[in-house]
Amino acid sequence: MDSPNVLLLLTTLSLAVSSAISGSVVEDLANLQPPSDFNTTVMKNCQHDPSLRYCNSSSVDLKEIFKFTIVASHLCNESKNPNCVQSFDKIDLRNRPKMAPLYLSYSFFWKYCPLTIFSINLSNNSLKGSFPTEVLCCAQIQALDLSLNGLAGEFPIESFSPLTNLTSLNLSYNYFSESKISDSRFFKRFNASCFIHSGILPSHRNFTIKAIFVLVGFPIFVVFMVVCFGWLCFQRPDFLPRMFQRKHKFTPSMLRAATNGFSRKNQIVRSDGVEIYKGTIRDGTEVRIEIYRDCISREKRKEFVEECKVLVELCHKNLVQVLGWCNNRNKRAIVTEWTDGETIEMWLSDSAPPWKHRLKILAGVVDGMRYLQEHWPEVVYDIRIDSVLLTDKHEPLLSRFQVGDQYRNNKKIHWFGIFLLEIITNRRSQEFERGEAGFIEHVRENYPENLHKVIDARMKLPENIFDQAKHGIELGLMCTDQSISKHPSLDQISHMINKVYESCLELAPQNHKRSHGDGGKGHKHLQ
């Protein structure tokens, strides 16, 4: 060590000892203050030897430099250097598990590490955590020993670049992470014995195993992923991103998942060849699943799919939305939106709805029929009162469709006539011995003189509203006339019903006032 540096060490040491005993000086660093002339001493040292590390610091912290000299003096003696006044050649704290972590914590010492130190030994101290990069501030060292500790994590190979004089390195018996094969040039500087059980040496055997795993395992992984993707595509495409899903197509696995394995709790109807379930598909939508358990030819299955492709395109407020289909060898199904409402038949029987509400139902049904006639003339439908559904907002929904039966399509006006008469009378054609023919004959026999025997008496219609119901009966008889040429068109039917409905809405307030004006002696009105 040069004489100015020795002078500095001796000066600070003597000052420190004057305020604390030698064994506790390091522990009392926070309470020590540099002497008044310490700045002059530092400046003289830097003028004599500009290479000193604290001389090259961008900002001179006298208190920090003072603490450095104290720690350097103690560490020199702890390391058993022969003559600390003359030189500080080594840091030797091996087998000192209590002292080593303490000195490593003094970052200011390593920041100004004395240039005379050429060897650092911190072995067998049970050090934990990552590599103590502080020691690398002593870039001039020739030997470093950190063996027999518990150091772990990444080994900072790049940080060793400035240590050009380092010829002896011992990192054995630690738990570092394995280095990359590309870092093997660094380890050629040292003997393999320097890294025994350190975990740091790149293992060619492990590299070979990894290479084999990549060459063999990766293709297997790819095959596995392809198989999984294929299974999802054909069994559960609803798990795929939307761009990969097959729109409107449901698989048996999707239906099974939606109905909790076709559980009895989800089953609504069961008959020969047909089962109806309530289910919830993966996106949370509640659906009605109608399953046909029959065996049909391949051609029939193709026709079924083509029919479904048309039905999923239907979009109208008075039509139940068809969401998709399932076409399997032993199982076909149509999936539609779920409607909590009841059928028109149940509604008529249970609630005795007023005339105004019945007209609204008729207007909605005709609106749906007109949409189908204009946009999808090949689609026929069922408008019996036991198949038309009713939403909680009293909107009717046509729920049963079929494609391509032109004969049935020609009878749609006739069917609507039956539907209209049943709405007004609350009677079913099944109640009559001759079915529809008997029902129509019964209405004709009482038209127009005895309509009070035909019209649903529960409505309790006043005279002006009764005339509207009479016109409704007349329209129903026109629609069911055996001569198709006498049938009104859907546009004419729509115009008549909407006109009557608007008139009913205008008359309703007047009838309400009249019922209060006569002291309640008039008919009751269900609004």
The CATH architecture to which 245-337 belongs is 2-Layer Sandwich (3.30)
Question: Rounded to an integer, what distance in angstroms lies between the CA atom of residue 190 and that of residue 27?
Answer: 38
pLDDT band at 6 (very low <50, low <70, confident <90, very high): very low
Q: How far apart are alpha carbons 316 and 425 in whole angstroms?
A: 28
pLDDT over 80 at 187, yes or no: no
Lowest mean pLDDT, pick from 271-280, 360-369, 468-477, 507-516: 507-516
CA nearest 61: which of 28, 31, 39?
Answer: 39
Burial of 483 (0-12, 13-18, 19+ CB in 10 A): exposed
Of the pLDDT bands very low, low, confident and very high (cuts 50, 70, 90), residue 21 is very low
Query: Residue 297 has what pLDDT?
Result: 85
Phi, psi of 337 (to 5 degrees): -65, 150
Residue percentage of the chain with pLDDT more than 90: 35
Interstrand relation of 119-121 and 143-145 (parallel, antiparallel or unpaired) = parallel
State percent of the chain over pLDDT 70.
87
pLDDT value for 519: 39
pLDDT digits (tens, 9 = 90+) for 105-131: 888 888 888 888 999 999 999 999 999
The model's pLDDT over 479-520, given as tens digits with 9 standing for 90+, comes to 998 887 888 999 999 999 999 998 888 876 665 555 444 434
Q: What pLDDT is stored for residue 315 in this prediction?
A: 93
Domain boundaries, the chain: 26-202, 207-235, 245-337, 342-506
Distance CA 21, CA 16 (A): 8
User: 3-state DSSP call for residue 290?
Assistant: strand
The CATH fold of domain 342-506 = Transferase(Phosphotransferase); domain 1 (1.10.510)
Q: Number of helices (H) and strands (E), helices first, in the chain?
A: 17, 16
Average pLDDT over residues 466-476: 92
Residue of 259, 320, 233 lying closest to 312 (CA atoms): 320
pLDDT at 229 over 60: yes
Identical fold at 245-337 and 342-506? no
**Cα(357)–Cα(510) distance, rounded to whole angstroms?**
17
| pLDDT for the residue numbered 20 | 36
